[in-house]
Structure 1
Amino acid sequence: MLINPPLAIINADPAVIGAIVLIIGACLLIDLLVFARGRQPTRKEAILWSIGWLILGLLVTIPVILLSSPADGVNYVTVYLIERTLSLDNLVVFLLIFGYFAVPAAQRGILLFWGIILALAMRGVAIVVGVELIERFHIVTYILGALLMVLAWRMYKGAADHVDPDHSPFVRLIRRFYPIGDYHGSRFSTIVGDRRVVTPLTLALVSIVAADIAFAIDSIPAAFAITEDPLVIWAANGFALLGLRALFSLVEDLIKRFRYLNQTVAVVLGVVALKLLIQDVYKASAPVSLGIVIGLFAAGITLSILADRRDEAKPNLG
């Protein structure tokens, strides 16, 4: 049996899909132009842009409700919040990759840009494949739930952010066929003598691609636990990935400020995985799912703030 083309699977108005692609593309272009030539945003700029992208992502709920239904609007917000939070973990991995390959600050912007583009593409493929598999084989739902539960446990134990690019098969393949040179501006390869060599920028990009593939496999099951509408999932993923260049400069501070962020995300993923595994027995409504997700995130943030205040209140015995 032939696999249906993506638009047939999504079963939505091509004009709506085209509009989403154009809006996300325009936003990515704005992001690229604002931080052109590797310019690093100031802390104030990063905060304002991050808030702006967050508001934009949430405002998309309105057309989703108008064009589809209130339930789909609630599902969109739920998936958006989950994916937006998971994108922080994605950025942490990018940060580790940049540190591993000592990527110059001026070149990080272009890698982030391509990392976001590739993440959108990878997640689009994962959504299309996921919808096809779920429609044909119901057992896939339980497999996705089990995978998500494993991811939740790894994240809770702090093992999800481990990065060792030298063990990546993609990086090994490049090292096998090409010699590695030094950085040469924003070039991915250059000529040294009479040989073409790749720069460490190529290895960093390949490592980001590998990370994008892993995150697509990890994050899409979480979205399917909320809704099986691929258009809602892809739109939520697309808007959740906007503004990561601005958010990147804040990620280290956010991780420090919200010390229980990883554990909170792990609990959210665990609950979402459970929702997938028991959906044939009990299917939570869209508002209930959104309420649980918001409640867990609020609890994690509150506990982090209280822990910081408790530490600040401790007398300095040194």
Structure 2
Amino acid sequence: MNVSGLEWGITLAVTIGILLFDVLVIGRRPHEPSRRETGTALTIYIALAVAFGLWTWFFHGSQYGVEFFAGWLTEYSLSVDNLFIFLIIMASFNVPRIYQQQALLVGIILALIFRGIFIALGAVAIEQFSWVFYIFGAFLLYTAIKLVKDTDHDDDGDNAVVRFAQKRMKFTDTWDGLRLWVHENGQRLMTPMFLVIVALGTTDLIFALDSIPAIYGLTREPYLVFTANVFALMGLRQLYFLLGDMLKRLVYLSQGLAFILFFIGVKLVLHALHENEVPFINGGENVPVPEIPTLLSLGVIIVTLLITTVASLYKTRVHDVRKNNGGSDEGSGGESGDSGAPADPQNDHSR
């Protein structure tokens, strides 16, 4: 894929411009955005991603267009799962609704920074060491298995880094927007927002470790890797407020992501074997194994996401109907409110 410096420059300028607009215009005053505001913004961001994919398809070739759409859908799915963890973090720290928009924006910017760093490192590693695909593949297989075993995110708002900060620093219970510390009685005290940002940052770091090998399993073009991640992060803040507790209804999201990551992990391992240069594997010669085409990968990703979404909504709908009829699902009623209404994210999972 031949991407000129001008094309890179325009892409970076547009990306920075959108982020600045989000920060300086939309996010300049703390507020809980309306459904109309979030729906409009989300529609625009998705339309931009689709338009970019079509532009890539027609100007760089159908293969690169397929790679972008496959990468974007995969990264978007991982970002939605990341967003679910954000929701739990907000609830765990009881972040006031008026400040959640600002905190989410910081979390998304941190995610973009971490992913940008790992994209660059991944590109260098792939260029220098072909065997890195073995590592990427093994890591995705491990992540997929871990996702299947651990689908309960209840502890994600209280990680080791947060606990370390709580033990080593002095805190106040006062919220003051995005301020990380305040001065009280001659002392510098960290605000609760500091812990929220730490939790969001460490979560972003973990998801970046998952997402970069996944995207490099679908395309080796750094430009497509970067743009797929950027478009996957756009609109997540609006999606958080638009869907709210609907995210909790995607009960099979982790299983669907696990299958997608496992599939891409197998794809990476097969590619590594096909390009093998490791001396202790087949004497350093290429192993004649079939490779999975990106178009097939795109189909698998789309079908998996559709099945995951439909199955999740069906399960939660049946659960709500049984609750309304006084069924036997009372033991699991903590996920939703009475009469099938979603639970308030401020109360659910709170500590």
Q: Compute the displacement of 1:99 (Å).
A: 1.9
Aligned pairs for 1:1-318 (under 5 A) are 12-32=3-23, 33-159=25-151, 161-164=153-156, 167-169=159-161, 172-173=164-165, 175-176=167-168, 178-186=169-177, 187-279=179-271, 280=274, 281-307=289-315, 316=325
Instruction: Please list the CA deviations of residues 5-27 of structure 1 after superposition, one character each: whole Å capped at 9, or x if unmatched.
Output: xxxxx984222122112222222
User: Would the alpha carbon gap of residues 154 and 14 (structure 1) be closer, same or farther in structure 2, given more than 3 Å must change?
Assistant: same
Structure 1 contact 264–300 (Cα < 8 Å) conserved: yes
Q: Which moved more, 1:54-63 or 1:302-311?
A: 302-311
Instruction: Please list the CA deviations of residues 83-133 of structure 1 after superposition, one character each: whole Å capped at 9, or x if unmatched.
Output: 111111111111222222222222222221121111111101101111211
Task: Quote the RMSD (CA, aligned, Å).
Answer: 2.5
Instruction: Please list the CA deviations of residues 255-297 of structure 1 after superposition, one character each: whole Å capped at 9, or x if unmatched.
Output: 3443322221221111111111112222222222111111211
Q: What's the TM-score, normalizing by structure 1?
A: 0.87
Q: Distance in 2 between matches of 1:227 and 1:21?
A: 20
Residue in 2 that maps onto 1:5: none
Q: Compute the displacement of 1:212 (Å).
A: 1.1
Q: Which moved more, 1:36-45 or 1:196-205?
A: 36-45
Q: Which runs of 5+ in 1 are unaligned?
A: 1-9
Q: Distance in 1 between matches of 2:191 and 2:68?
A: 40
1:117 maps to amino acid:
I
Indicate the structure (1 or 2) with the bigger Cα radius of gyration: 2
Structure 1 contact 146–273 (Cα < 8 Å) conserved: yes
User: Would the alpha carbon gap of residues 51 and 38 (structure 1) be closer, same or farther in structure 2, given more than 3 Å must change?
Assistant: same
Q: Compute the displacement of 1:229 (Å).
A: 0.8
Q: Distance in 2 between matches of 1:148 and 1:162?
A: 22
Specify the SS of the correspondent of 1:37.
coil
Q: Distance in 1 between matches of 2:239 and 2:173?
A: 28
Question: In the comparison of the two structures, how many residue pairs are matched?
Answer: 308
Q: What's the TM-score, normalizing by structure 2?
A: 0.80
Q: Distance in 1 between matches of 2:307 and 2:187?
A: 57
Q: Distance in 2 between matches of 1:232 and 1:40?
A: 33
User: Would the alpha carbon gap of residues 86 and 291 (structure 1) be closer, same or farther in structure 2, given more than 3 Å must change?
Assistant: same
Specify the SS of the correspondent of 2:198.
helix
Q: Compute the displacement of 1:69 (Å).
A: 2.2
Instruction: Please list the CA deviations of residues 210-243 of structure 1 after superposition, one character each: whole Å capped at 9, or x if unmatched.
Output: 1111111011111011011111001000011001
Q: Distance in 1 between matches of 2:311 and 2:145?
A: 20
Specify the SS of the correspondent of 2:29.
helix
Residue in 1 that maps onto 2:277: none
User: Would the alpha carbon gap of residues 158 and 252 (structure 1) be closer, same or farther in structure 2, given more than 3 Å must change?
Assistant: farther
Instruction: Please list the CA deviations of residues 133-175 of structure 1 after superposition, one character each: whole Å capped at 9, or x if unmatched.
Output: 1222222211111111121122223347353555423662574
Q: Compute the displacement of 1:313 (Å).
A: 6.9
2:266 maps to amino acid:
L
Identity %: 31
User: Would the alpha carbon gap of residues 34 and 272 (structure 1) be closer, same or farther in structure 2, given more than 3 Å must change?
Assistant: same
Q: Which runs of 5+ in 2 are unaligned?
A: 275-288, 328-351
